[in-house]
Amino acid sequence: MGAQQRVFKQKIRSTQSLRKIFKAMELIAASRIQKAIARSQAASPYANALTRAVSAVASESNVDHVLTTESDNVKHAAVLVVGPDRGFAGAYSANLVREAEELIRLLRNEGKNVDLFTVGSKAKNYYTFRDRKIEKSWTGISENPLAEHAREIGEALLENFDPESDDSGIDEIYIVFTRFVSSVTHDPEYRRLLPLEVVDAEEASTGGQAEQPSDAPAFPLYEFEPSAEAVLDALLPRYIDSRILSALLSAAASEQASRQAAMKTATDNADDLIKTYTRLANTARQAEITQELTEIVGGADALAASAAGD
């Protein structure tokens, strides 16, 4: 076997090995998408009921609560970036970071200081490599987020939320995540968590926002005991946790969908490379055979000419 054939045969074997890995990762991602979607749908009833409860309290009371009141002088904002822990997901991480950087740029142009919180190794590594300070990070939870994780993140964000403070208190909290729409559509976006922007119940389950439909049923009249402020104190932290959990679940589904699409593309490209290398190997083999035949024929002609001369 000639040198060129050996090179192409080695490339074919290497590409075939990579193709097996890509195909396995594609199948794994496809199976995990359904699980992530199912978990998001299972959490929807609780998120819908909690959203309606918070909407009722916020709409039917005139309480100036710290979590719902806009600050007159916003100086400090916290940004939670929900990214993946692993790669091989195409442009998923790059699109998310681009959206986060756009939000941070807008906030800084408004004269606000920004505290960074991250979920996932990719977001953490991105900012660490650029010597950007991260207040707190969570890793190892992006593919399988739990309610405990959302509660821990919510507590960390609310810990320093104090719009009335003039120094280190956080006035606003934003979350940047990738909203899952379908297996082929998942859009990075950012939402303000605090001060509270009450979202429609259906949108809360996916981490998005929508205006209340004009034909939506009106809230009934409520009497709050012991007080509307006490009800808000109990409901709003849980509401924040549910919003964070919805964003985590939506991001998990988006990550798996991106990984499946990326691995499908990688598998197809590997197939194309195998075909190309096989064709080049066959071409090299034919060239070597032709050269050998030419040399044999040339040697036979030389022997014949030498015999005729004798």
Q: According to the per-residue pLDDT averaged within each range, which of 17-26, 40-49, 235-244 is highest?
A: 17-26
Beta bridge partners of residue 205, listed in sequence order: none
Does the pLDDT of residue 33 top 60, yes or no? yes
Give residue 34's pLDDT. 86
The mean-pLDDT minimum among 92-101, 200-209, 249-258, 268-277 falls in 200-209
Q: Is 111 left (phi over 0), alpha (psi -120 to 50) or beta?
A: left
CA distance 177 to 84: 10
Quote the pTM value. 0.79
Give residue 55's pLDDT. 72
Q: Write the secondary structure of 261-284 as one string of H (helix), E (strand) and C (coil).
A: HHHHHHHHHHHHHHHHHHHHHHHH
Residue 244's CB: how many other CB atoms inside 10 A? 27
Does the pLDDT of residue 44 top 60, yes or no? yes
3-class secondary structure, 7: helix
Does the pLDDT of residue 271 top 90, yes or no? yes
The mean-pLDDT minimum among 171-185, 201-215, 249-263, 270-284 falls in 201-215
- pLDDT band at residue 300 under the 50/70/90 scheme: confident
Does the pLDDT of residue 222 top 90, yes or no? no
Per-chain mean pLDDT for the chain: 82
Express each pLDDT in 195-214 by its tens digit: 876 544 444 444 444 444 44
Does the pLDDT of residue 132 top 50, yes or no? yes
Does the pLDDT of residue 309 top 70, yes or no? no
Give residue 214's pLDDT. 47
Does the pLDDT of residue 217 top 80, yes or no? no
The mean-pLDDT minimum among 71-80, 81-90, 209-218 falls in 209-218
The mean-pLDDT minimum among 59-68, 97-106, 227-236 falls in 59-68
The mean-pLDDT minimum among 60-74, 139-153, 264-278 falls in 60-74
Give residue 227's pLDDT. 76
Return the H-helix or E-strand segment holding 242.
helix 228-309
More reliable by pLDDT, 91 or 297:
91
More reliable by pLDDT, 283 or 139:
139
Express each pLDDT in 143-189 by its tens digit: 899 999 999 999 998 887 776 666 667 888 999 999 888 878 888 99
Give residue 210's pLDDT. 40
CA distance 267 to 214: 48
Going from the C-alpha of 205 to that of each of 59, 63, 155, the distances in angstroms are 20, 26, 20
